[in-house]
A and B are shown apart, each in its own frame.
Chain A
Amino acid sequence: MSIKDEIFHEFAKGLKTKGLPDGFIDRLSSLLKENKVTEEQMIELIRGASLDVDKD
């Protein structure tokens, strides 16, 4: 595992212990691994997740 992968693995582990769902963690990690992720893309993803939580 590369160092970057190790950091992302630890990151995912941290989010999981905070109770975040696997699907969201996967989407978030893939987006962060992209070359040029923007704040707007990230906010869209987070707001989407918040709305899902809101619906639940």
Chain B
Amino acid sequence: MSTKIKAIHIKALRGISALNLELNGKNLVLKGDNGTGKSSIGDALEFFFTGQVAHLKGAEGLSNKKHLPHVNFTDKDLAVKLHFDPGNISVKRTFKGIDNIPPRLKEYIEEGRHSTFILRRAQILEFINSKPADRYRSLGNIIGIADLDEKELVLMGVRDELKGRVESIQSEYKEILNEISELIQKKISKIDEVLSRLNNMLKQKGLPTVDLLTELNNYSKELIPNIRATVNKEDLASVTAIQTILMDIPIPGEFLHDTKELNSKIEELIRKRSKSYTNEQSLLELAKDVIAEKESDICPVCNQPINRTELLESLSQRIKTLIGLTKEASNLRTSIEPLKSTIDRVVSRLEDLLGKLSRFDKLSIYSREIETLIHDGKKLQEKIASAKQLNNLIPVDDLINWSSKVNKVTSNLQNECKNLLNEIGPTEEEKNIIEAIDLVTRVSVKLNQAMKIQRDLEINKSSFRLAEIIFSSFSNAKKQITHKIYSEIQSGIKNAYLAIHPNEPIGDIELAVKEKRRASAKLDLELFGKKGDPRALSSEGHLDSLGLCIFLAFIKKFNTKFGLMVLDDVVTSIDSRHRQNIAKLIMNEFRDKQIIITTHDEVWFEHLRACQKAFGLEGNFINYEIINWDLVTGPQLKKAKILWEEIQEDIKRGDKIAAGNKARQYLERLLKEACNNTQAAVPYKLDGRYEIGDLFEAAKQRLQKLTKGTSIENSIVKCFQELSRTTFMANPLSHDNVLQEELSLEEVRGFCDAVHNLDETLSCPFCHNRLIYDKQFRALRCSSEKCEDPISIEVPQTV
């Protein structure tokens, strides 16, 4: 016997303060208005099995511990306890962890931890709105691997960063070889060429030569005793050291020119970002702007309550990810790295310098200026790091200003050092020695730097190679497995899609990973003999059902060992007839699963209930409605009754207003279904809110035309006659109206009966499923494929 959830106990989670949901191992269909805690049940189940809720983590400022608990409780109060059958076992999960899992449940809970078993409305909406370029991500969202895209981005960023470092160090190495070339007055391309040239120069001065590069450091110590004792050797060494640091500070002018070019690239990327071209990024940016500007806590699209701060943070994170994924951004990150390294180097040298100036009064007066330059340099470092993330432009003016101050103070200090050396007062011979010491010291310092840079370059090259291997291996593994999944579910998607759209000329549905792209999916649908992107060939409703089919095919193929499936409000833009087919598909193909379906849509709720009846599965389902929700008590549930049963109870109690009100809703739903199922011509309304007055005549005329001369013609005519006579009551009974008092219970009962008669007339007498007009067979037929004695009424030739 397969494992089923017997009861769900939720405490302090999202919109639920406390809720006990007794399922007895059955499937659940739950109807409730938006914002009444329906989705919290899916969140609770995800938390139980995985220890987290994926859509509440990842983005900055959004965390499970902060945002999963109910606002009146803390994370310590949050608990989800599931009661399982067989075995009558309870297991509880809190933020501290999950109870010890009994051996019998280990496999089930472990499978739940790994599986994708919840489909939410947001995922379907993202899929519907995604352009081909964004589809890989939205598909990843449906099959539960979207967050791997973020990881891939991190790996790509690491590769870019290391590539940038290698290029930066290479140019630093080249630069330092140039500086050594200048010192020894000969162009060199490698370190090995230095010693022979330096010895030549020393020979010309009549001074001893050096055997090995490693001895350069001691050369000065050996020569300094040749300088008279009156010369302060410590001062001499200090001035030489300062001169060495000063050599390494100036910022070349062409470097600033490159920065201006970089800035124009950043500007281009930022400008692209703000251009309203239609892709997911611009859609997200538009959403972010609208939400930021509106300062309202209600979503402007679906009118649902939103947490504005969380949503804005989440949108910013998504936009950042999308921008980061572009190749231009990747190249730019690499190009900015040398600039960043130069600023880092200069700031570090200025800090070295600061510690050495106090020895000399003439130099220490520059300390304050150097401190300011260090402070400003650090600010520039921050701004450049931020520009790397495309948050702002590089502050070129500040950079030019800072560089010019740095170069000026360096030049002044170099002059002061020369003056100091003159003051120390060596003889011509001593000057010759000092010059040689200076030369050897400078070359030695530069050589040490060059060798350090060389080692650093090797490590960074090796890190870059490793990062490249890691990134490409991750990307390939992701692509390969995703491709495998796509091919394995392709036929399942088509079967499910055909079950929902049985009479449509659908050919192949092709889902594949684009080989040459990093993260791109190809999704083609063949319709009316044409193959192409589903957006081009089908409606929003078709895309909605296609997204659902991908999820269902995935569950069917991969969740063979895990029996739970949650569909959270997923059929928003699918019409009534196709929803019926979805209900049938679920009842037919997923009987082995324990299904939890939530919806705010009354018609879909009724379809699901009718289907339970048609398939003889009433005993396998529990149907609940959320009748009220408030922050303190959370959702209040009651077992759902068929609307007609509720109306009869109201009449029995003498509550004519309640009965009449429900009969009005009942009639509105029936007329919507009748118009949809018979393809009646209803005058179009932009807001899509059709009421009885909009539908009545269209349904009446269409049904009378379709049934003229048939066995149900009289019933239809009588139904509409009776409704025409009584429907006027709908309005006064629904609103506060003086006529309410004038109406008798008997009159209201007449209206209710007329509505119910229409329901009966439009239903199959055998299975009670709805009659639909089948254009191909030119007949009004029972919509259930499972019906054992389906009614079929041929429509007149004139139709």
Measured CB to CB, the residues of A under 8 A from B are 1-8, 10-11, 13-15, 18, 20, 28, 32, 35-39, 42-43, 46-47, 49-51, 53-54
Q: Choose among B57, B162, B458, B485 the residue that contacts A43 (Cβ–Cβ < 8 A).
A: B162
**Which residues does chain B contribute within 8 Å of A11, judged by CB atoms?**
473-474, 477-478
Measured CB to CB, the nearest residue on chain B to A11 is: B477
Query: Which of B148-156, B632-640, B695-703 lies at the interface?
Result: B148-156
Q: Is the CB of A54 within 8 A of B466?
A: no
Q: Is the CB of A2 within 8 A of B158?
A: no
Q: Is the CB of A54 within 8 A of B459?
A: yes
Given A11-B474, A39-B154, A54-B458; A46-B162 close (CB under 8 Å)? yes
Q: What 13 additional pairs, Cβ within 8 angstroms, besides A4-B144, A54-B459?
A: A2-B114, A3-B558, A4-B114, A4-B148, A7-B145, A7-B481, A32-B474, A37-B154, A39-B158, A42-B154, A42-B158, A50-B463, A54-B458
Q: Is the CB of B116 within 8 A of A3?
A: yes
**Which residues does chain B contribute within 8 Å of A38, judged by CB atoms?**
154
B27 contacts partner chain A, Cβ-Cβ < 8 Å: no
Number of chain B interface residues as a range: 35 or more
Tell me the complex Cα distance, A18–B474, Å: 13
Q: Is the CB of A42 within 8 A of B155?
A: yes
Q: Is the CB of A47 within 8 A of B158?
A: no
Measured CB to CB, the nearest residue on chain A to B474 is: A11
**Which residues does chain A contribute within 8 Å of B151, judged by CB atoms?**
32, 37
**Which residues does chain B contribute within 8 Å of A6, judged by CB atoms?**
481
CB distance from A19 to the nearest CB of B (A): 9
Measured CB to CB, the nearest residue on chain B to A33 is: B151
Q: Is the CB of B463 within 8 A of A5?
A: no
Tell me the complex Cα distance, A49–B460, Å: 11
**Which residues does chain B contribute within 8 Å of A2, judged by CB atoms?**
113-115
**Which residues does chain A contribute within 8 Å of B113, judged by CB atoms?**
2
Q: What are 30 A-B interface contacts by the 8 Å CB criterion? A: A1-B114, A3-B485, A4-B148, A7-B145, A7-B481, A8-B477, A10-B481, A11-B477, A18-B469, A20-B469, A28-B470, A32-B154, A35-B52, A35-B58, A36-B58, A37-B154, A38-B154, A42-B154, A42-B155, A43-B162, A46-B463, A49-B463, A50-B459, A50-B460, A50-B462, A50-B463, A50-B466, A51-B459, A53-B462, A54-B459
Measured CB to CB, the nearest residue on chain B to A47 is: B463
At the interface, is chain A mostly helix, strand, loop or mixed? helix
Contact with A along B129-147 (1 / 0, CB 8 A): 0000000000000011100
B72 contacts partner chain A, Cβ-Cβ < 8 Å: no
Given A14-B476, A18-B473, A38-B154; A7-B148 close (CB under 8 Å)? yes
Q: Is the CB of A7 within 8 A of B478?
A: yes
CB distance from B73 to the nearest CB of A (A): 23
CB distance from B616 to the nearest CB of A (A): 35
Tell me the complex Cα distance, A7–B480, Å: 8
